[in-house]
Structure 1
Amino acid sequence: MSARIQLANLVPTAVKAMMGLESYLGGTDIPFILKELIKLRASMINGCAYCIEMHAEAAMAEQESPQRLLALAAWRESPLFDERERAVLALTDEVTRLDEQGLSEETYQRALGLLGETLLAQCLMQIVTINAWNRIAVATRMEHGHS
């Protein structure tokens, strides 16, 4: 694949703004592994190899099992995720695939009931942010371990 522009060099203020979102998300109540599940699932849907590699490494560094990470591809059929994780993964799928149906009332209400308003809002921001990063990485053909 041919090299493409590097946003960090051309629009550093925009990348700094994205890093501000990351800084905010680092201070939320979302457990680390749940954040990584969100990031990995959205990245799988969006076909972002850069983000999949990055977040799989981060999750495994925190002792997440490779079995669960692989099962994310078919999480609905997998018994490896608890009720809260399943609600967040459904939220991630629907917000990432807005063109299909948007966020259904059923998925929203289930997540709200399991997470409460604040954690739901934080998870939504995590989903939105990883989707933005996926689009940046795919559009610029970023490769893990490279800028």
Structure 2
Amino acid sequence: MEARLNLFENQFAMKVAKRFAGLGMVIQQSPLPKSTQELVSLRASQINGCGWCIDMHTKEAEAAGESSLRLHLVAAWRESTVFTEAEQAALALAEEGTRLADANTGVSDETWAAVRKHYDDDQLAGLVSLVAMINAANRLAVIVHQKGGSYDPAMAAAFDLN
């Protein structure tokens, strides 16, 4: 299936993408660990079925030194031994924050307490913002059928934010 709209060639879409990328850079520069950012982005993208974002965040995580074992186990993080308690709390928040319509309570008090235990206010602000941003990015890509498989980590470096 072809993409319905090429978000990288449409002038208006590029204006939006530049602002989106700028906010993404602010989150990337937060004190939330880079590995946690990529794991959270990958998990939300898996839930949302976003091939483009799964491709992107898998490759970005690999480029940052993440192991293939951990990347392969993100979808089954509860059934694995390779994630820290802090990462598990972040992944739980990512899942609950992504599946808002599936749960009448949204993010549970238990999950919030777990992330509070492991992350300070600045890290939490980065984590909450990241969950919101990756879900928005997933929706953009899924709606227009932006397919995964062609992302190159050099693409982000080449993105002109001016």
On whether the aligned pair clears a TM of 0.5, the verdict is yes
2:123 to 109, 119, 123: 119
Structure 1 residue matching 2:100: 3-state secondary structure: coil
What is aligned with 2:13?
11
Deviations 1:63-122 (A, max 9, x none): 211111111111011111010000000000000000122111110111112112221111
Number of residue pairs matched by the alignment = 147
2: CA distance, partners of 1:64 / 1:23: 20
TM-score, normalized by length of structure 2?
0.84
Amino acid at match of 1:39: S
What is aligned with 2:83?
81
What is aligned with 2:47?
45
2: CA distance, partners of 1:119 / 1:26: 11
Structure 1 unaligned regions, length at least 5: none
Question: Over aligned residue pairs, what C-alpha RMSD do you find?
Answer: 1.6
Deviations 1:14-72 (A, max 9, x none): 22221121121121111111111011000000001111111111111222111111111
2: CA distance, partners of 1:86 / 1:2: 36
Distance 1:139 1:115, change over 3 A: same
Structure 2 residue matching 1:99: 3-state secondary structure: helix
2:57 to 55, 61, 65: 55
Q: Looking at secondary structure, tell me which structure has more helix per residue.
A: 1
Structure 1 residue matching 2:101: 3-state secondary structure: coil
1: CA distance, partners of 2:74 / 2:17: 28
User: Identical aligned pairs, as a percentage?
Assistant: 40
Structure 2 unaligned regions, length at least 5: 156-162
1: CA distance, partners of 2:128 / 2:80: 23
